[in-house]
Structure 1
């Protein structure tokens, strides 16, 4: 709902600015006829204003926000599930995860199933991506740097 309200607000702002620019264009056009000035100068200026406004609007809508420190307890992931999630992100198989944590294969699969349900995903890759987006695990590129 908030996203829809924000989008509506952006559309109203965009519409208002476009309306103002159209008024400015009409005033400039009138002054051009009265003073016999070149329209190319004003057209270029207004085109530049549209370009700058479009770039600003596009970056404000599609700006990717940096993930905040996410409270892991909001998802209800246990410490063990976070360990399993880290191992999933490292690319280990279910059997390798079970061996590394000294648990049975069925226990590892249960942890993975719980992670999927808490993150509301269906596949391993989705779980890893969502965990990275929520800053539950660190990108491997960040580990190197």
Structure 2
């Protein structure tokens, strides 16, 4: 009986810690609006659709997932990604995200 009580107390403690961590992570905003450099977005001549695709890439979505979310074909998403890579002077999607973060556009 004592062991069961100890296990129950440990489970409740882990449950409470899990809720605390989850609430803390939900409150943190991945892309704070106040730090986004909109002038740089305009200087790079990113279209609004390209910027949407860039933010979805930053969330880790694939081309198919982005297409489903934005109601576009996968080939259209590939075109937007290609344009983003050229405009950001990047070779890969991950490099494009890194450059965009350094420029404070996401």
Taking structure 2 as the reference length, the TM-score comes to: 0.63
CA-CA distance at 1:103 after TM superposition: 0.5
- Bigger relative contact order, structure 1 or 2 (CA pairs below 8 A, ≥6 apart): 2
Deviations 1:89-136 (A, max 9, x none): 000001001100000000000000000000010101100000001111
Distance 2:89 2:97 in 1: 12
Secondary structure at the residue paired with 2:97?
helix
Partner of 1:128: 97
Q: 1:69 aligns with which of 37, 42, 55?
A: 37
Map of 1:80-119 to 2, 5 A cutoff?
80-119=49-88
**CA-atom RMSD in angstroms:** 1.5
Higher-Rg member (1/2): 1
**Runs of at least 5 residues in structure 2 that lack an aligned partner in the other structure:** 1-34
Deviations 1:50-77 (A, max 9, x none): xxxxxxxxxxxxxxxxx88351111010
Secondary structure at the residue paired with 2:84?
helix
Aligned residues: 71
